Structure 1
Amino acid sequence: MQAIRLLPNNVEKKKKDQGLSSAEARRRMEVYGKNKLATKKKKSWLLLFISQFTDFMVLVLLAATAISMIIGDITEAITILAIVFINALLGFYQEMHTEKIMEAIEKLAAPKAKVIRDNEMREIPAEEVVPGDLTVIEAGDRIPADGVLIMANELQVDESMLTGESMPVRKQVIHNETDTDATFPKNHVYMGCLVTAGTGRAVVTKTGMETEMGKIAHMIQEAEQQDTPLQKRLETLGTYIVIACLVICAIVSLTGIIRGENVFSMLLAGISLAVAAVPEGLPAVVTIALALGVQRMAKRNALVRKLPAVETLGCATVICSDKTGTLTENKMRVVSIYCGRTRYQVTRDDNEENKNRILFQGKPVDPVKMPALNLMALTGILCGNVNIRKVEDEEKISEEYVFLGDPTEVALVRMAVEAGYDPEKIAEEYKRLREIPFDSERKMMSVMCSTPSGDRIIFAKGAPEVILQRCTSIMVANNERKILDYDIKRIEQENTYMAQNALRVIAMAYRIIEKGKSLPSDFEQQLTFLGLAGMMDPPRKEVYDAVEKCKIAGIKPVMITGDHKETAKAVAKELKIIDGNENVLTGNEIESLSDRELKERLKDTAVFARVLPKHKLRLVKAYKEEGYIVAMTGDGVNDAPAVKEADIGVAMGLTGTDVTRQAASMILMDDNFSTIVAAVEEGRNIYNNIRKFIRYLLSCNIGEVLTMFLGMLMGLPVPLLPAQILLVNLVTDGLPAIALSMETGDPDIMKQKPRDPNEHIFSGGLWQLIITRGIFIGVVTLLSFILVFRQSLSLEAARTAALVTLVLSQLIHVFECKSEKKNIFEINLLSNLWLVGAVFTSLSVLACVVYVPALQNVFKTVPLLPEYWLYVAGLCLLPPVISSFFRSKKDEA
């Protein structure tokens, strides 16, 4: 790595200060403690594993296990326990795995800090910094603790992680009473913020949890973690199942007692049916479905920390996104140039990643061949203090530049370098002789350089109104001439146009002092105007499509940023988050609104600017109270409380802070906003797949219960033995249900509106489908039992026919569950090869149970005669035929 330093030659002599003594630092460490953020005590692995058994459905299954053991059905009890244990292991592994990935919260502060101790500078661990320490900071450092500046030399600090402001703050020692940002005064520095330029020294005032970052970390820890919509719906489902089980138990028991059966025997019979009614595979299949979704999302650069997160994002109705670094690149770039009375556009070449193109009326131009543009490029490189590192990649045979400095100056240098200029070569040709630095009063900067011909050239840049006042000539059509009132008016109009489009505008000018001529006393006068450069933090290219897809999917994208109102509005308009007419609400306006008024404003507002962390948190809570399912994306520490409060928090993996990642449920490993849209699609598909296997499992369980229940009511022998019911639960129910969770999903799913946040999992007629098909399965199974029993008078043959009918009916029904809108004759039966494989496996097991002698003895089955197979086939095909007939009639109506 080679560094090219375009810095002033004069370096201010460092001030000496004794700082704290080592003894005093140790004493203060005992009083104030270590300079690190407190974290909640983590659960031990044992408690984490035990917590997997606290889910309501799992508790129901454990109760079923106890009942099975009481009635002597040890096999059933062991089976249920095995399923519960496997489910717990899956959840435990997922939580342990993600906790290890995210165990980085203590790395938030700078790992090292430079302090003055005993009158000498030392580098110590950041956690050893104490109040009163004198810290030394320079470009590239992370500030170790909050402090007050006692020295600042062109010091600039990126505080976007706290404020959301995309531009670094120019720091000063003397507090300015007119400073409008009273929350973060310019003579203070804050833990975790990055120094982008200059040097400074600060006396530490606050450490650890007392810092601004510590306050935000405390807000995160206090935020309540609520159940996701999926967890709430599954808990409701579990409640319904328990109620149904109790009702079944009571009805069967009372019916038998009324008929004169033994009271104890009837109670055991009712309990057995209740146990059979519990879909013991449901929690495991839900976990597997979510785990598969997590794997698919990992392939698309999204790390899911909590299994229900993907499904929750699938029902999001609003996505609150930070602007800087999430919707935008977090890099200032020149996007427009006005030079020689001509407007140029600056774009990045899609075919060459690190190349800029300067366009005129859509056609590229070569700045080297155009004197005015060429001089603007030279001004951008030479008139500034940017540290440029050239990194050579031998494998790719390419070069990349890393720029460190003021974002405005970096943008100008980047434009020139990416347009083909070599900064190292230019720095050698134009030796810097003198610099007049930028300050807030002058609003301009100038450098004097020598040229290869021996002349001296002055490059100047600054505020347009200041530069114009110093210009007496202008370069037009590659020639210099006197600047006219018309030129000035045109330049002012262009400056206004750029500013209205939220561009940061810099004017450039130059002057040549020929070799041998004396240097004027004020060489910043009589300049030649070159042009204007308009720059902004541009939106990410992929975000345009992502925002459009969100709107088509009925999801409201909302920008929440700490940046300027006009900048936020311009970016939102560019991305079509707003159409230009909507209002932008600022943090101060949010403060003045009551909760009721704020909720009213949410309806017609999609951009919130100049907001603080507390405002973000309030906005997320307001959306949730209005019934929205809220996804909150962010990268800075300022986003973390709102990220944790949201229904689904999404953090940036590359640029995001560890605090935000810790608070989030999902992390975008590529910081790509479009990955969120992919997660929404994945979540919707997972929810639909969950509905599919719930439909399948409950239909099958209702069919099993009805078979037994109706048989007992009719005074028939028990249609199915416990071992046979167990076989159906293990093989026929489980495998196809898991395979259903691997359905690819509806290709038009992102054209559908989000589900109602209060929608029940059985909405849209799912209950009717489940009950109707459950009745069909139960009736045809019982009919098969009765027909074969009356013809053969063999109880084993009748039970075998009932078992075969039950299994085949369920396996046919699993293909119907692939779609809620199409019948079985309209569905592509081979689209899910996992499902085909699961059905084939179940059929193979069934064939073995019926025809393998050893298994016949275990399950009390016998081979069926051909005519019995005809009964079975006809009865199994009856339900889908009837269902298809009524569906077609309904569609015609």
Structure 2
Amino acid sequence: MPVDTGLLRPGDAPGPGAPPPADRSEVQTLPPSAVVAGLDSSASGLPDTEVVSRTVRFGANELPRAARRAPWRQLASQFTDLFAVVLMVASAITFLAWRLQDPRDVGTLQLAVAILGVVLLNAGIGFFQEYAAERTAESLQAMVPHACRVLRDGERREVPVRELVPGDVVLLEAGDAVPADCRLVEAYDLSVNNAALTGESDAVARTAEAVAAGPVLQARNFVFMGTDVVVGSAKAVVCATGGATEFGRIFHLAASAPRQRTPLQRQVAVMARRVAVAALATGAVLFAVRLPTGQSLVSSFVFALGVMVALVPEGLPATLSVSLAVGVRRMARRHALVKKLLAVEALGSTTVVCTDKTGTLTQAEMTVVQVWAGGGTHAVSGVGYAPEGEVSGNGQVHGLLRGAALCCDARLVPPSDRQGWRVLGDTTEGALLVAAAKAGLDAASSRAAAPRTAEYPFDPVRKMMSVVCTDSGDDHRAYVKGAPQELLSRCADIDWQGSSRPLTGETRGAVATAIDELAAQGLRVLGVAARTVSGPRPAQDETENGLTLLGLVGMLDPPRPEVSAAVTACRSAGIRIAMVTGDHPLTAEAMARRVGIVREPHPTVVTGDRLDAMEDADLDRLLASSGELLLCRVSPEHKMRVVTAFQRRGEVVAVTGDGANDAPALKHADIGVAMGASGTDVAREAAVMVLLDDSFASIAVAVRLGRSVYQNIRKFLVYLFSHNIAELVPILAATFVGFPLVPISAVQILAIDLGSDVLPALALGTEPPEPDVMDRPPRSRSERLFSTDVVQRFLFLGTIQALGVCAVFFWRVNSAGIPYSAFTADNPVYREAITMTQAGIVVSQFFNALAVRTERQSVLRVGLFSNPALLAAGGLGIGLMAAISYAPPLQAVFHTAPLSAADWALLVCLGLLLLVAEEMRKWWLRHRKSSVREGAHR
């Protein structure tokens, strides 16, 4: 009779998220043979009809979505930004001043409304960017595959995790994330990491045997959603899914945790505080300076307010959000999913990439091309996973390929309408199955004839995997495959030309020579061995020692065609590439030469054994050398140690990985890069970036785009603060020369910020990478947004703009031929002069936007018209300025006057002067750089 595990029965209320059953502890007391029946399942898994029925009753196997802030709360949060608070206070004070005026000046009311309008615009842009970013993140996460292996109707299948139902029979292997709460029925050397539930990161052993009743979380025969398989393999039956799991209980705590700000966001917040304080302090000082001159309290306040508004870069929060969002979306289009904004920032300063070989540099479609057995080499024809080809002398390699096929957990999947032949499981094992099929062996029939009774899964320390099968009646035979050197050390005999003979020094030398010859061709080499054992479940030590070597298998994983260009790009960008692989040194070097990582005749090749013998100081000296570096036959501990050593030297390290054993290095690296297609769930969870196509070329693209994002942020900082100088300097100049009126009013400044500032800045945030962005060294990790280069550049451009604007204002004022004290706000010449000031800033900002598009390259080289959004935004700003100058209703609001064609021509000349000056500065930078290079080559 089935145990009541809390599974819903017909007539129960359906729906996901039911609480976990209180009596699930009864399941842990059942022997493995009774678990399947106790959980209303079967040894062959659930039939499809029952899966559909249970899906309706239990819902999808997914955790409840984290509660989103209501849209109105998201919108309200936009008004807590420091710039927004400063402007809202200014608007409120201005409105109060208008209420206290007698008579009331409509211009003061217009100013209060205009300031509030800027706040509302920024809030709207920020809200829509955040809202869109959330949906973008959800859609991008959905692109990362989350699947698990199950038995259904007696077939091994791969299904999406969300489609699991209670009663499903799940197959688990090292590197898998446990997809639901499950009771084990078979476990082979299984250990799991329960850190997500218990906080303890050490692997804990699991068993399929019955345990005493007690708390489910302490049951050693259960595995839980959110935990990871570290070592071994298992078969388990699902007993709870989704919100009914133990992890579902605590998930909402993590989902509701506050989002941490990145260093970039913190830098911007610090800058905002400093700018706000500077604006308030400057406004207060000038307010105090003007009061003793006889100006009214309100007019002095409006003057000081204009200074404050001129210093506040109102468009900065919105442009920052847009630039980061555009960068993340661009990376996603190029198959790089960035999970944290921190990765966008760090990518621009990456100095070292520690890359795996298989799958990242190669196509991850292993193909056996040579087999060494009985002292001879046999060619294997055909490529890819289609079992089309033949093995020369297949009679001599029959035992070798049969043993290799029996020692595989992967499955060869026939082609379907959507895709061709593929492998479900490890690609290396897939290649062995294909080679066996080419030799006329049917893997399924072989497994049926020799059922497996025990298994010792692969782990990176032993570097081998072994299985025990019932073979030839009641005999029990072990089959082992793994790294050839490690396997050879455990062999006592060799299958030599059809008979078994002891492994002498001569034959060992012949095997070692064969290994080196295969590896020198760039082939990955596996050894296969076997022995008869004493029973169906012998000890591991008996299983993997005293072996008979059956032979060697050489397989090739061809490099991806796009990798060579990506490696060259990284070299040009000053990024060092170190290959870190578990493969044979000769195999690794051959592949590294094919893709361009190695060009020197004698690269530095370091094995795991040599790393073990090194002190940290020796490793530091090794990494300090500028030579090409290959790390071979390394374990996860070695990989972690190398990453730490690079970071100790101040390097910014990106690390690629796909297995569970790569997770520590991925987490510890500055940029952990996981494989999205072939990687394990554990690796993808540990990484901050996921390559959806598994290609190294996507890393190079992501670095290029990451550098571009940071550059674009610097560009619009230069753009915003240079025009702030142009707004502030005329006001200060008028104060010091004794002119009684402001050269530009606060309402005009807001019109500039609102109409001709924000949109071009947003367009700069979408600027594509500069042509030479990958020809520059990585930026320093300690470099700040407001670096010396940024400050010098906006001071240079801002000074030119300010001088031009002051010149046209005082030129027009002096053309009236009357003393400064005689000017009033209604004087036609004064209105023309302030119109020239506003138009001068708008026009010069258009040319400034073109100038800051590049940092060193001439804008003519990238093309004046290559960013149509920027041209449209600038044209819209100039059009709005023309409307302010000519439209009577707007003239009344801004106190402006119509400009002549000659006035516009003069302003365009000033803008061109700015562009020419910036082009000359860039030319000087390029000339100085080339001179330094020439000096270095002498």
Taking structure 1 as the reference length, what is the TM-score of the superposition?
A: 0.69
Distance 1:31 1:444 in 2: 32
Does 2:114 correspond to 1:76? yes
Q: 1:144 to 1:832 in 2, by over 3 A?
A: closer
Distance 2:515 2:683 in 1: 38
Does 2:864 correspond to 1:829? yes
1:756 corresponding residue in structure 2: 780
1:74-113 matches, cutoff 5 A: 74-97=112-135, 100-101=138-139
2:799 corresponding residue in structure 1: 775
Give the deviation of 1:442 after TM superposition.
10
Distance 2:92 2:586 in 1: 62
Give the deviation of 1:545 after TM superposition.
5.3
Q: Which of 278, 283, 289 is matched with 1:244 structurally?
A: 278
SS of alignment partner, residue 898 of structure 2: coil
Does 2:840 correspond to 1:818? no
Q: Which of 896, 917, 926 is matched with 1:861 structurally?
A: 896
Does 2:645 correspond to 1:610? no
1:689-708 matches, cutoff 5 A: 689-708=712-731
Does 2:832 correspond to 1:797? yes
2:878 corresponding residue in structure 1: 843
1:615-630 matches, cutoff 5 A: 627-630=650-653
Give the deviation of 1:787 after TM superposition.
2.1
SS of alignment partner, residue 532 of structure 1: strand
Does 2:843 correspond to 1:808? yes
1:472-871 matches, cutoff 5 A: 473=497, 490-495=510-515, 503-506=525-528, 532-534=552-554, 546-547=566-567, 549-557=569-577, 571=588, 574-575=591-592, 579-582=603-606, 584=608, 609-611=634-636, 627-631=650-654, 633-634=656-657, 648-656=671-679, 665-716=688-739, 717-763=741-787, 765-791=789-815, 794-822=829-857, 828-869=863-904, 871=906
Distance 2:27 2:126 in 1: 42
2:45 corresponding residue in structure 1: none
1:277 corresponding residue in structure 2: 311
Give the deviation of 1:764 after TM superposition.
5.3
AA in 1 matched with 2:306: S
Q: Given that residues 636 and 665 in structure 2 are in contact (C-alpha distance below 8 angstroms), is that contact kept between their aligned partners in structure 1?
A: no
Q: 1:676 to 1:226 in 2, by over 3 A?
A: farther
Distance 1:264 1:767 in 2: 34
Q: Given that residues 744 and 837 in structure 2 are in contact (C-alpha distance below 8 angstroms), is that contact kept between their aligned partners in structure 1?
A: yes
The count of aligned residue pairs is: 790
Q: 1:439 to 1:298 in 2, by over 3 A?
A: closer
1:349-364 matches, cutoff 5 A: 354=385
Give the deviation of 1:699 after TM superposition.
0.9
Distance 2:341 2:467 in 1: 53
SS of alignment partner, residue 681 of structure 1: helix
1:290 corresponding residue in structure 2: 324
Q: Given that residues 702 and 775 in structure 1 are in contact (C-alpha distance below 8 angstroms), is that contact kept between their aligned partners in structure 2?
A: yes
Q: 1:109 to 1:232 in 2, by over 3 A?
A: same
Give the deviation of 1:684 after TM superposition.
0.7
SS of alignment partner, residue 338 of structure 1: strand
Deviation per CA, 1:753-804, whole angstroms, max 9, x where unpaired? 1100111224353322211221221222122122223335722222233333
Q: 1:821 to 1:845 in 2, by over 3 A?
A: same
AA in 2 matched with 1:610: S
Distance 2:605 2:6 in 1: 63
Deviation per CA, 1:202-260, whole angstroms, max 9, x where unpaired? 999xx99999x99x999999999864342243234324422431343244234324545
Distance 2:658 2:252 in 1: 17
Give the deviation of 1:695 after TM superposition.
1.2
Q: Given that residues 171 and 187 in structure 1 are in contact (C-alpha distance below 8 angstroms), is that contact kept between their aligned partners in structure 2?
A: yes
AA in 2 matched with 1:493: T
Give the deviation of 1:586 after TM superposition.
10
Distance 1:506 1:858 in 2: 87
Q: Given that residues 770 and 854 in structure 2 are in contact (C-alpha distance below 8 angstroms), is that contact kept between their aligned partners in structure 1?
A: no
Distance 1:53 1:643 in 2: 38
AA in 2 matched with 1:290: L
Q: Which of 318, 321, 338 is matched with 2:372 structurally?
A: 338
Q: 1:804 to 1:265 in 2, by over 3 A?
A: closer
Q: Given that residues 151 and 173 in structure 1 are in contact (C-alpha distance below 8 angstroms), is that contact kept between their aligned partners in structure 2?
A: yes
Q: 1:84 to 1:65 in 2, by over 3 A?
A: farther
Deviation per CA, 1:639-696, whole angstroms, max 9, x where unpaired? 6677567655544433456676566554333333322221110111122122222211
Distance 1:407 1:646 in 2: 26
Q: Given that residues 587 and 612 in structure 1 are in contact (C-alpha distance below 8 angstroms), is that contact kept between their aligned partners in structure 2?
A: no
Larger mean Cα displacement after TM superposition, 878-887 or 714-723 = 878-887
Distance 2:512 2:607 in 1: 27
User: What do you get for the CA RMSD once the two structures are aligned?
Assistant: 6.3
AA in 1 matched with 2:726: G
Distance 1:320 1:399 in 2: 32
Distance 1:572 1:611 in 2: 20
Q: Which of 340, 346, 351 is matched with 1:312 structurally?
A: 346
AA in 1 matched with 2:843: L
Distance 1:558 1:797 in 2: 65
Deviation per CA, 1:685-720, whole angstroms, max 9, x where unpaired? 122122222211211111011122212322333222
Q: Given that residues 225 and 645 in structure 1 are in contact (C-alpha distance below 8 angstroms), is that contact kept between their aligned partners in structure 2?
A: no
1:516 corresponding residue in structure 2: none
Deviation per CA, 1:286-321, whole angstroms, max 9, x where unpaired? 212222222322221233445564343222334466
Distance 2:643 2:80 in 1: 29
SS of alignment partner, residue 304 of structure 2: helix
Q: Given that residues 391 and 400 in structure 1 are in contact (C-alpha distance below 8 angstroms), is that contact kept between their aligned partners in structure 2?
A: yes
Q: Given that residues 781 and 805 in structure 1 are in contact (C-alpha distance below 8 angstroms), is that contact kept between their aligned partners in structure 2?
A: yes
Q: Given that residues 289 and 742 in structure 1 are in contact (C-alpha distance below 8 angstroms), is that contact kept between their aligned partners in structure 2?
A: yes
Q: 1:727 to 1:341 in 2, by over 3 A?
A: same
Q: Given that residues 435 and 446 in structure 1 are in contact (C-alpha distance below 8 angstroms), is that contact kept between their aligned partners in structure 2?
A: yes
2:935 corresponding residue in structure 1: none
What 5-or-longer segments of structure 1 have no aligned partner? 1-17, 115-123, 130-134, 163-168, 175-185, 358-365, 450-457, 476-480, 510-527
Q: 1:66 to 1:668 in 2, by over 3 A?
A: farther
Distance 2:634 2:478 in 1: 36
Q: Given that residues 53 and 88 in structure 1 are in contact (C-alpha distance below 8 angstroms), is that contact kept between their aligned partners in structure 2?
A: no
SS of alignment partner, residue 421 of structure 2: strand
Deviation per CA, 1:331-364, whole angstroms, max 9, x where unpaired? 7754643358665787985xxx54589xxxxxxx
Q: 1:298 to 1:472 in 2, by over 3 A?
A: closer
AA in 2 matched with 1:747: P
What 5-or-longer segments of structure 2 have no aligned partner? 8-19, 29-57, 98-108, 153-161, 196-203, 210-219, 457-464, 482-486, 532-547, 818-828, 929-938
SS of alignment partner, residue 742 of structure 1: coil
Distance 1:876 1:233 in 2: 32
1:517 corresponding residue in structure 2: none
Q: Given that residues 498 and 504 in structure 1 are in contact (C-alpha distance below 8 angstroms), is that contact kept between their aligned partners in structure 2?
A: no
